[in-house]
Structures are given as structure tokens and as C-alpha cells.
Structure 1
């Protein structure tokens, strides 16, 4: 009789390197169009259209902040690992810009690495923040001829890990205090304030596929793990603030930003700017924006929030402050190293801390989770010490299909 696989916790392994994997971004005006071609590869979008949507990069000198932030995060991870006497080099690879994931993997293999543990700069569950990274690795290993030669596993999605959530609690409380101080200075100390937790909008179909599992059927708020995870973390943040603050806690809501794609395709709503206008119409005088869906100050944060949302608030006469992302917060960096230690034999951490009832999330992605509607691609499949490369739904062929992931 076959035994079901425990997707929540897998046996620790020996790893010889850590891969920090991220989205990547242009680092100069000449990089913008090539970068956008990479992001939209296979969709047949002409350069004229790409140039139309490049304005936020152009306005910042063609430079996305994400690469510099990842260099800083890589250095912080290296320092934290060294402080704990953990001998794991940190590699870095991007999906859409140099250093590219395939070259990073080839260099790793050439340098003698054989077992790599991947940490991504995406905390939540959906196609682009989880499965696509596993596809990137699967396609790279296949194209490089490294199937069965180089193993790559991935840490769990960490949306409710204390290292990710606690910096948001601190930052939201500080931003809330600033907005209230600004209102007091303007002579309206009791004016209503609203907290907007913002994350990247995704197609509704992708949202509904997030968290879907044939291994462990679960129901999620609003029919989506992606939405439910954000709502659960936002509630945890606000509960902590309410416990530490005198007086009633402000109202809050989850909003979305950075929508792209065809207008007829439904995406998650409401848009943050529409929500701000609605709040102003209801008498709200101050807004705290929390970039809950982001690890660091990506272009979507510095443009969509620090520029567009801030301008919307200014035009409506609303006090505004934006809470920081975790970035290289010592809490966040230590949390990422804890996630690494969950999966390693050396310096092993057996517990899986989680600050919401939805977690801890799976060490292993369940079969059917975050389906790719754009076409099947090879993806890494993890189970204990084995790695499989499969096309379509991620299923480990060493276990029964109903126990795959």
C-alpha cells in the first residue's frame, strides 16, 4: 500500500549552495527594451507597444531598483550565514536580466556544486511567484543538459513567516503614527485614517488556481490562496497594531496595483487609485499604504505607490505615507536563513513557524497548484532527496499520483 507524502515537511538534505532567484530589471536606458522583450517573450508584442509601457523605467533613468536591492540582500544573507558559521555560498540568478538563471546554474555546476537550495524574492502563492520559478529551473536544467546532474530544491512560500511579517508590523505602525501626526499638525487630529494593503494584481484565473491541490483539497477565502494569504497577513498586522495602540484601530482593506495585459481579461480588483478616490469620497483624510505583496522596493513600489498613489492622495488632499518593505531588515534576513535551515541537515531547524492559520505553507508544491495556463513547461519537482523534471502539473513519479505535487 502506498503512503501519502507529507507536503508540509520534507526530510532535510545536505546542500552545497543557496540560489537567490529574482525577477531582474534593467540597469540603464539601453537595457529597457531588451528587458521588456525578455519579460514578454513568446507573446509577440511589438517594440512600439513595449516602449509605451516603459515610462516608469524611463523616468528613473532606465534603472530598476531591484538588482541593487538583490545585491544588498545577497550580501546580507552571506553575512548572516557567516555569523551562524553556515558554510553555504549564495549564488544569484534572475528570470529576466543578467545574471540569468541558466548561466548561474551552469557556473554553479562548473564550480562543483551539485545540490542547490533556492530562495526566491516572492512570498505568496501564485503562478508567477512560485510555479514559474520552478519552471525556470526545470527549463534551464533541461536546456543545459544538467537533468540528473544538478539538483535544485526550493524553500516554502514564506508569506506568514515571522521574518517577513514582523517588519510589516513595525513599518505599518510607524507609518500610521506619521500620518496621524501630519493630520494633527494640520489641525485635524481625529480625522479618519485608512490602511491600504497593496499587492500585485494578477489575472483572476491565476488567482483561482493558486493553492489548488489534488493532494490536500482546501477552501480559501474568495476562492484563492493568493488572496486569502494576503488577507490573513493583513489581519495579523492590524491585530498586532491594535494590541499595541491606544484607541480604536483604523479600518483597512486589500487593494491591487500594477495591472497589465488585455483590458478584456479580468484581473483582481480594486485598483489602489480607485480605492483612494472612494475613501476620499467617504470622508477619510489620511492613507497608509503598505506594500504587503513585495519583498523590497521594486519598480512597482517606487512608481505605482510612491509616485502614482501618492499623487492621487495629494490631488484629493489626503495625508499619505508608505510603509517600508522588508528589504534587508535584520528580521527578514534572519528569517530567510531560518527557512534555509528548515531544509538543511546542518544547522537544521525542525519547526515551521507561521503567523496565520493558513501556514506553514508546503515545503513541496502540491500537484495542480498554480497551474500554467500559458502552456506546459518542465518544472522541478521535489520530494525528499529526489528531483524530477516533468512537463505539465508537477508530479513526482516516484510516488503515487494522488500523493504527488
Structure 2
């Protein structure tokens, strides 16, 4: 189960930030190897304080382990032909890291594995970065003849419109809307907030993330019968460069000026609580709304919602069926049309962004699509 991860304890914050600022799939800086530690060091005290305010660390590992364990229980029941199933957590910036997950898989003698992104909407800077790191680590192990270098891999690389995901989000939104009096309920605006991206990644490279997030939002609003006014907004901008907008905080200010007194915020790109929900939304944004005369309520994260656990199991089971050739690749086990995952990877993953300049992306996509390594792979392991 791949995700960004988060520091479980306060002493881990510095290493977490250092790995993040070293990642050239996410951020590209001149003299990055020198600048990354400096930037991480400067930001660490501020971020430590934010984690302190949410309890002393991120709960994302706890939620991911719980989701994985519950998914496997259900998967063993609905897909016994590949049971028993076990999940391994591979975080990009916090422990357990990708290399630690592979070490654990090697100790267990794993021969067949599915890399299952926990970002429902694909971005080169999130799922892409996780897969690039997984590919590099596999290549390192192939070089030294380690058995885990020969694991048979397939990828669940995106699932933004899966019916279980959409229905769980819809229930979370309905739960918070139902806290308002019936006569005003349909007038409360909804902010679907997702982590922003620099415009260089979106317009320069052609990253599919904004379109896939919008697809999730449209799915939820369709289930809600377009009952409320809404906007897709973006949070967590860092630095002075142009990012996707409007920013979530700016939306609150704008709606307050227009006379709105209430709003609902929905973390539409996150499947677990972590610092961006527990601090940025629950504390910073709520306080900002209050300063502008608004009352803000947040829809709960998906976390351990039974429908979401079922969705994870259904996605995994349908993928395994596809690999076995036992079901149509365009129909999920529950009967809904689903075209994101077809074969070892989705068709969408097999095309690079039009403006991609990262050679690792091409090599990684080829490797996971057909199990082969292309020309130039010797340059990618450094």
C-alpha cells in the first residue's frame, strides 16, 4: 500500500522533510542535494509544532495498517483463490519506506505482489514518485541477485471513479449536511479540497491529477443530485511560484465576503486523516473561517468506514481477476463499469505526460507494463 506517509513521532519530522525536499519527482530545485537539507532544517521547527498540535505525530501509518488488515480479511473471503493476502506499507517519505517493505516481503518469500496506490487520483508527483522509487529499488536488488528483485508485479495506479470510493465520500458529505436544519441544508456551499500542485507540473508537463480529482468530485455531486453549490479548491501551496487555484483558504475568504455564513469542506484526495486534514483544515482553516464570520464543518475522512474497506477489497479483487483473465476488464465484481485498471497497469499509466522530461518515468512504466527494462536502465539506479 503506497502513500506519502507522515512522521509517527516528532523526532522523525526532520528526516521526513529531508526526503520530501530531496525528491525530484515532486520538487525540482537547482543544487537540490545542497538546498534540500537546508530547506528541511529551516522548516522543521514549524512543522514539528504543527504535528504537536495534532497529537505528536501523524496517524496515517495507523490508519493504513488498519485499512490493509481489514481489506485482507474481506479479500480472503471474496477472492479465496489467491488467499491468504497480506499488506505491506511502502511510504515515500516516512518509515516504513519502500526498501523496508521489500525487505519484509523478501523475509516472507513473496513471489507475486500488487503495488496498490492509496492516492485515488494519479499524479506524477505522488503515485508516480512512489512507483519510480519502487522501480529503482527493484533494479538495485536485481543487480545484486536478491530474490525480491524477481517478484512478479502488477499495479493499481488509480481509482478516482470507483463506485465504492464515490459512495463513501457521498455518505461522509451527507452525514455533515444532515447536521444543518432542513430549510437551509441545500444552500450550504461545499468545498472539495485537494492537495495543490505547481502549475509547472500541471500545464508544463500535463499531469492528469486535476482532471481525475474533478472526476471524483463530479461523481460525488452526481450521487448528491447536485444538491448544493460547490467548488473544487486546492490546499497546501508552498513557495512563491504559481500553483493550482483557487486556494482553499482564499475560497473561505471569498465566500465570507459574499455573505455565506456556513460551509462544508471535504478532503477529496485523501483516504486517511493526516496533517492536511487534522491541522490545515480542522485548525487553520476553521480558525480562518471564524475570523471572517463563517462556521466551517469538515466531512470526516474515509479512514475505517466499512464502505471504504469494501471498496479497497473490491478494487484489489477485480484487479486480481483481471490478472487471472477470469472476468471482463471493464466490469468490477459488483457489476459497475470500471476502465481504470486493465492488465498489469491501467491504460492511462502506460502513456507519459506530454511534457515529461524524466527518463525514469518511461523506464518504470515499461517495466511495470510488461516486465522488461528498456535502454538506459543502467543510468537510473544511481
TM-score normalised according to structure 1 size = 0.76
Determine the C-alpha separation between the residues in 2 that align with 1:361 and 1:343.
10
Does structure 2 conserve the Cα–Cα contact (< 8 Å) formed by 1:160 and 1:233? Answer: yes
Q: 1:328 to 1:341 in 2, by over 3 A?
A: same
Shift of residue 139, structure 1, vs aligned partner: 0.8
Shift of residue 197, structure 1, vs aligned partner: 0.6
Does structure 2 conserve the Cα–Cα contact (< 8 Å) formed by 1:197 and 1:255? Answer: yes
- The aligned counterpart of 2:364 is 379
Determine the C-alpha separation between the residues in 1 that align with 2:64 and 2:252.
31
SS at match of 1:388: coil
Deviates most, 162-171 or 101-110? 101-110
- The aligned counterpart of 1:255 is 233
- The aligned counterpart of 2:195 is 200
In structure 1, list runs of 5 or more residues that go unmatched: 1-19, 213-223, 244-248, 394-405
**1:135-190 Cα deviation digits (max 9, x unpaired):** 01111112223586223221140011012111111111221222446xx7xxxx48
- The aligned counterpart of 2:380 is none
Determine the C-alpha separation between the residues in 1 that align with 2:251 and 2:65.
34
| 2:357 corresponds to 1:360 | no
SS at match of 2:289: helix
| 2:247 corresponds to 1:271 | yes
Structure number with the bigger relative contact order (C-alpha 8 A, sep ≥ 6) is: 1
Q: 1:309 to 1:117 in 2, by over 3 A?
A: same
Does structure 1 conserve the Cα–Cα contact (< 8 Å) formed by 2:67 and 2:304? Answer: yes
More strand by share: 1
What pairs up with 1:150-299 in 2 under 5 angstroms?
150-180=151-181, 189=184, 192-208=187-203, 225-242=208-225, 249-260=227-238, 262-263=239-240, 265-299=241-275
Determine the C-alpha separation between the residues in 1 that align with 2:358 and 2:325.
40
Aligned residues: 346
- The aligned counterpart of 1:124 is 121
Aligned-pair Cα RMSD in Å:
3.0
- The aligned counterpart of 1:369 is 353
**1:74-121 Cα deviation digits (max 9, x unpaired):** 221122123323322222222122222112213313432122111121
**1:180-237 Cα deviation digits (max 9, x unpaired):** 46xx7xxxx4894211010000111222367x5xxxxxxxxxxx63222222322222
Ranges of 4+ aligned residues in structure 1 off by more than 6 Å: none
Q: 1:123 to 1:191 in 2, by over 3 A?
A: closer
**Aligned with 1:100 (options 97, 101, 104):** 97
Shift of residue 61, structure 1, vs aligned partner: 4.5
Q: 1:241 to 1:21 in 2, by over 3 A?
A: same
More helix by share: 2
TM-score normalised according to structure 2 size = 0.81
In structure 2, list runs of 5 or more residues that go unmatched: 24-31, 378-382
SS at match of 1:88: coil
